Amino acid sequence: MTSAPLLWLAASAMAVLTAWLVKKGSEAKTLNDANILLFLLVMMVSMFASAVDYLYSPGYLTIVILLIANMVTMSVVLVPIAAVMLFGDRELEDIRKGKAPSARFMVEVAVIALVILSELFMGWTFAIIGGSVAASGGVGALYSAVVASASSYWFLFTMAGEMAITVFLLRKKIPRSIWWIVGAQSAMMFLSPTAIVSPAWAEYSTFAGSAVMVVLFVYVFEFLYRNRTPDPGTKNYLVRIMSALALMMAGVFVWLLDGDATVFVLSVVFEMVVYFWLAVGRSQAESASEDWRSSPFWVFGMLGLLFVAEFFMGGAIDIYAYGTGYFTGLPLAAVGASLAGLGAVFYDFIVLFSSVTASAWYLIMMGVEMGALVLFKIGHAREFETKVRLGMVIAAYGAYAIFLPYFVFPSSAQYVPWIGWSMGLGTAGALAPDILVALLATYFISGALSFLFGSRNVCSLFCTAALMYQGTAIDSMSSFNRTSTVGRKFLTSRLNSIYKVSVSVVWLSLIASAAISYLNSVGVLDITFFGTDASYFVYSFYFSFLWYVVWMMIPFIGTYGCVNTGMCGWGSFNQLISRLGFFRLKVMDSDVCVRCETKDCAKVCPVGITDQPGSFIASGELRSMKCIGVGDCVSACPYENIYFYDVRGWIRKRLHLKGTQPPMPGAHLPVRLMQGEPSPRD
């Protein structure tokens, strides 16, 4: 312990020195610059590697061997420096051999590799001296020592400080738009739960690191919303950092579950590579690239990596909330080499997947992230009614999806109408006689609301889809409804054959599983999915697994895939009732739609109803089972010509109350458009 202050002083000095060398690496332009820099880095690696070697085999002979090895290494590394002195210096960018990587690229790779090796050996050295790692044992012990050193505070805290210093030194090079992301990397490195051997630290750092990551994800997606054409370098950095964070959360989850820090260490090394590549690599291109929404695979990667990071983050917090038994005690099926064995693999996967996506803590984190994006959208909304609805979306998610079912009625939700059965059949578990009243009441309440106000009460308010699809960045992805191959098949208000087949399969499976569940409960049958109730398993498959797959597939099928593909049985029920009820979209003046040249209402629809203008022109209204009343068309109309009509409008009209009559034709029509001139948004 007496050596700890000296070790920290040495670690701090090495962090400053390494950050300075990284800065020099980013500025290296000639062979001479690169050779001197690499010489210094090789000496650092050699010094700490020798220290580790000596600590494992102390003695006079070891010192002699290490001195000779270091002299040989130094001589070899001095050769390029001498060559430059003899034959002259050259610019790195001018050195290229055929199609081989440029000298500049090779220097960047070498600098990053040497910095990481230096830090690993330094952490290993200090961990041995500090007593947290024993310098003994065979190959297995050596591997464990490397993992223990790289997951200790000697390595992680030093790296966090080094990254922070590098940010300061390179503040003029790193784009200000991603400063916060780079800073968050340093903070999350410091908040590594493996750094200090203490349950309190592990718990605190896991929650604090998760909070930083959530804020970071919100920032990234809001950044994309505000910067539609980021340069290629920034796009590459974003997908790399998302990959590193996803791997890091997987590592934390595995470490909390069984104590193995290997995956976490790999994630830290990968994050260091991402970080130093940004620092050492060439400056980001100043010219803007194409819209990021024109790169569907890139968007899919970002959404998928966000989900993976959130998945393991939720799993890690579940371990703290419920203990490791939450996962080790899952009712998994025995896997064998047969058809039943394949079924068991599928069953186990769904059970494991759903154990996280259906947990309160996962929903809380996703709610905070997506809710923040919805909050930002409130600031952009034009209509007061849309602002109110979006505010209600956030409140409804917190109360309806999390607080009431998980904290108020955690053990009796199936008996509470509209709360326990918020997603219809299977939501609260097995179907039994004593819960039929609650189930039927749920369908009645939701159906009545859909009849009076439209299915917007579910799909654009109470359902988790409302929060997940209506935030700024995700909402802007509605362009994929028109650009993706599959998304185009779901355009217009018509229900295509894919939808009809899908919704039929979904409802047949829901009804069949509910019937089996009910007959099991009354003792007529005994059919389960490896011991799990049929109705609940089918629900878990649709809403705890497939729903998230559809969400991540936005770049290929468009937004609100749950509505367009017919995979949501609960949604299709409410949409059908809505079509039979009062709800519709209406326009004040059809002539406005005739003369409108932008047709913005059709462009922004999140479910791809592109035939809105034609319907408005023909009948002055749109009635469609697909319309879920998000209201983007109302906000996008440059003439404020579209409005919602539901039971409230019907009552006002019957009672001849103020506001029942539309304004005079052309009241919302700009003078230029009335005269046949171009639209103000042309």
What residue spans define the domains of the chain? 1-170, 174-329, 339-682
Query: How far, in Å, CA of 542 to CA of 431, rounded?
Result: 17
- Residue 361, H or E segment: helix 360-380
8 Å CB contact between 441 and 419: no
Strand pairing class (621-622; 584-587): antiparallel
Query: How far, in Å, CA of 46 to CA of 41, rounded?
Result: 9
Question: What is the 8-class DSSP label of residue 581?
Answer: S
Q: What angle do CA 70, 74, 76 make, to 5 degrees?
A: 120
Query: How far, in Å, CA of 591 to CA of 604, rounded?
Result: 21
534 burial (CB, 10 Å; 0-12 / 13-18 / 19+) is buried
Q: What is the pLDDT of residue 370?
A: 95
- Per-10-residue mean pLDDT of the chain, 682 residues long, equals 72 86 82 85 90 88 88 84 74 58 77 90 88 78 89 90 86 79 88 92 92 94 92 89 95 94 94 87 58 94 95 94 91 77 90 94 94 93 87 94 91 89 88 92 95 94 93 93 92 92 95 95 91 92 95 95 93 95 94 92 92 93 94 90 92 74 43 34 32
8 Å CB contact between 503 and 562: no
Q: What is the pLDDT of residue 671?
A: 35
Residues with Cβ within 8 Å of residue 22, at least 6 apart in sequence: 111, 115, 166, 169, 170, 276, 279, 280
- Residue 644, H or E segment: strand 642-645
Per DSSP, helices labelled H in 88-152 are: 103-130, 139-150
Query: How far, in Å, CA of 572 to CA of 446, rounded?
Result: 12
pLDDT digits (tens, 9 = 90+) for 583-601: 999 999 999 999 998 899 9
| Phi, psi (degrees; rounded to nearest 5) at 471 | -70, 165
Per DSSP, the residues of 447-486 read HHHHHHH-THHIIIIISHHHHHHSSHHHHGGGGHHHHSHH
8 Å CB contact between 170 and 284: no
pLDDT digits (tens, 9 = 90+) for 533-573: 999 999 999 999 999 999 999 999 999 999 999 999 999 99
Per DSSP, the residues of 629-671 read ---HHHHH-TT--EEEESHHHHHHHHTT-TT-SPPPTTTTS-H
Q: What is the pLDDT of residue 101?
A: 59
Query: How far, in Å, CA of 252 to CA of 259, rounded?
Result: 9
